[in-house]
Amino acid sequence: DEAHERSIQGDVLFSVLRKILLMDRRSQLRIIIMSASMDIDAITNFWKRPTLHNELPQRIVRVGAGYLPGRKYSISIKYLTLPIANYVRAAVDVSLQIIITEGSRKKAPQTKADRGNHILVFFTGQKEIDDAYEMLCYKRKKIPADLQK
């Protein structure tokens, strides 16, 4: 996933995997590369290109490409105005505030599609995610019952 975020490690990995596929024609190895913004032609050409005369025996790697259409959503970005010591707690508190204030302004969703608003918070690691989850579980009682669905 996120193959468009190129790195030396990713490029070396692709090269090694390609050589494995070319060397062993009976290989059961299947590679799935996903990206929302990668140039499909560039990546398929890399995997399909013929081997160099001194690289490996001439073999063909079968390559398929698919496209799954997505949807664009309107977003709003919120930044803190001042530095804060515990940004995980602040993110949880702001998220709860948004849920309560925005939720109380809207009528109850009629269908599953009507529940389209989400909050996305980026943390730097698993511990912060776990801490935020624990805080949300504890503070969930502050959310009115009709907004918890």
Q: 121 and 60 share a domain? A: no
CA 24 to chain centre: 32
CA distances from 62 to 16, 24, 66 (A): 16, 13, 14
The first and second tokens of residue 60, run together, are 């063909």
What range defines the domain where residue 133 resides?
Answer: 87-147
40-99 pLDDT tens trace: 888 888 888 766 656 555 666 778 888 777 777 777 887 778 889 999 999 999 888 888
Say what the pTM is.
Answer: 0.49
Q: Percent of the chain scored above 70 by pLDDT?
A: 79
The first and second tokens of residue 66, run together, are 């698919």
Q: 36 and 96 share a domain? A: no
Of 69, 102, 125, the one marking the end of a domain is 69
Number of domains observed in the structure of the chain: 2
Query: Looking at the predicted structure, is the pLDDT value of residue 14 above 70?
Result: yes
58 near 51, Cβ under 8 Å? yes
Q: 63 and 96 share a domain? A: no
109 near 68, Cβ under 8 Å? no
Q: 107 and 58 share a domain? A: no
The answer to the question of residue 79 being in a domain is: no
Q: 93 and 46 share a domain? A: no
What DSSP assignment string belongs to 83-104? --S-HHHHHHHHHHHHHHHHHH
Q: 133 and 95 share a domain? A: yes
The answer to the question of residue 46 being in a domain is: yes
